[in-house]
């Protein structure tokens, strides 16, 4: 009887371990980037993505290869006018907010992003009633998404590796 109980216990532990997702927690000293579309119309969603691509490219020029959160933070703050200049190219009302902003919970390719208030750059287009796009720009997890054909395991591996590099 004891052997059966021990075997059942071990099976339960093994099954729980196998089914439990590997969780990666984004460090507290991360900086997020979010852009919220005016609406969910095809035009507004396409505009959101177009602006996202330009702003994201500019941000990576600004923060470069820095491994220091304070350097990244100061570079972003000192160069928000460049983000503003990009947005001025479009015929859309917008708001740029760099500071503490609320983010909903999200899971992406095995990585859990907990809901909460985080240091971030948030761009709201128009009324901000559309779907949003967001990622972690420091450490630069946004760049991982640019790689093609990354399955969940590969994404999780690269994300953890990158987070460890910036600890």
Nearest to 130 by CA among 26, 51, 58: 51
Query: What is the model's pLDDT at position 94?
Result: 97
Q: Reduced to 3 states, what is the DSSP secondary structure of residue 125?
A: strand
Query: What residue has token string 């460890």?
Result: 164
Say if residues 135 and 142 touch (Cβ distance below 8 Å): yes
Per-residue pLDDT reduced to its tens digit, 68-119: 889 999 999 999 999 999 999 999 999 999 999 998 888 766 667 788 899 9
| Rounded-to-integer distance, Cα 39 and Cα 56, Å | 21
How high is the mean pLDDT of the chain?
A: 79
């Amino acid at each position: 009887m004891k052997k059966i109980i021990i075997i059942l216990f071990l099976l339960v532990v093994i099954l729980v371990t196998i089914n439990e997702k590997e969780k990666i927690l984004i460090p507290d000293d991360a900086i997020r980037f979010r852009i919220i579309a005016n609406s969910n119309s095809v035009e507004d969603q396409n505009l959101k993505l177009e602006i996202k691509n330009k702003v994201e490219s500019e941000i990576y020029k600004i923060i470069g290869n820095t491994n220091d959160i304070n350097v990244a933070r100061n570079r972003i703050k000192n160069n928000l006018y460049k983000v503003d200049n990009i947005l001025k190219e479009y015929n859309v009302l917008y708001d740029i907010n760099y500071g503490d902003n609320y983010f909903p919970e999200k899971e992406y390719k095995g990585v859990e992003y907990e809901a909460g208030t985080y240091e971030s750059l948030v761009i709201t287009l128009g009324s901000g009633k559309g779907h949003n796009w967001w990622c972690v720009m420091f450490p630069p997890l946004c760049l991982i998404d640019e790689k093609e054909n990354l399955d969940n395991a590969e994404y999780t591996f690269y994300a953890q590796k990158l987070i460890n590099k910036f600890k």
